[in-house]
Structure 1
Amino acid sequence: MTKNKRKGLITQNSVCSRMNYLYQASQLMAESHHNILAAYYGKLCRNVGTKAQIHIAPAVKRTLCRRCSLPLIPGVNSTLQMEEQRREPKRKVEESEESTLKAKSKKRRRYRPRRRKGSKPPIDTDHQKIVTDDTYGSLQLQCHLCQSQRRFVMDTRQPKECWIEHEDAIDHVVTLDKEKQPQQEQK
């Protein structure tokens, strides 16, 4: 049984290294303005991961376009915009306008998670945090190849601080003294 596990790990390592190589190739092609080839390598990377049933890291997924798998590099092959906050409340739509809007509007994903059969409804729904457009802005990336857009929600209430500058990011600090390091002999 251990031989089968080892064999599975070896095949997964080879698949992961292939996916890594394809992702790096797509990044390199995107930086050198070969967008179609970069999108092809990105799609190939996704297909290899899907076939081997290996999850791609979320940080890697965020860099790829959802539609064409082009690595999104702001200023090179995509535009990055910060959307303005809405300060006016949404107006109510009348029934006659609603039917015409439904025909014209695109299908949107459901924001709240679906309930499964047999699961209990949430208990304290009044105390849950409600996301509004007033407190959250969004960053929008638009792909130049397929014109698709990705939005990332951003909290505008808190001061903008990088994770690296945050206190929780530091695990431990290592200092090296020059006096304690062994000196090399010169010949």
Structure 2
Amino acid sequence: MEAKKILMLVGDFVEDYEVMVPFQALTMLGYQVDAVCPGKKAGEKVKTAVHDFEGDQTYSEKPGHQFTLTADFDAVREEEYLGLVIPGGRAPEYIRLNPRVIEIVRTFDAAKKPIGAICHGPQVLVAAGVLAGGTFTAYPACMPDIVCAGGNWAAVNDTASNACTSGHIVTAPAWPAHPEFLRAFVSLLGAEIRI
């Protein structure tokens, strides 16, 4: 039986929870998650950053873990994957400059495959030009990017725990939204979680 594969686009200083939790949860559900980073190969690592909400005007940032990549970026073939996950943190602001990252996102979007982007992850969707006409959320500082890209803004609730599904794309503001974000993404994949 062929593995059910999910692609995850990461980079150095990806948000720790936003890469670790979806990677582990999707793996637990039986998916093979290929975590890739431009310029890196399977077995290499990216540094993560822990972002927290401690009453400041924006999140605080602390060193996180080393996250091991599970596949080679240069070997990605979009047709092998059921869906795409883009965690947040600082990685999205620079991986979106990579033309191949943009090509990957556009291919998933054109095929209407499920795409999940959390926190600053929607910055990659903005750069790929795939948000026009839909409704999305993200870390609040990304609101102008989404609106300027032709998307409609879905407000973030007081606990940053909401997710927003627009067609085949699910977005969320930050790691407190993991339950809603992952539930919506898995639903887009066509899986059913029974309790």
Interval of TM-score (by shorter of Structure 1 and Structure 2):
under 0.3
Structure label with greater radius of gyration: 1
Q: State the TM-score, normalizing by the size of structure 1.
A: 0.26
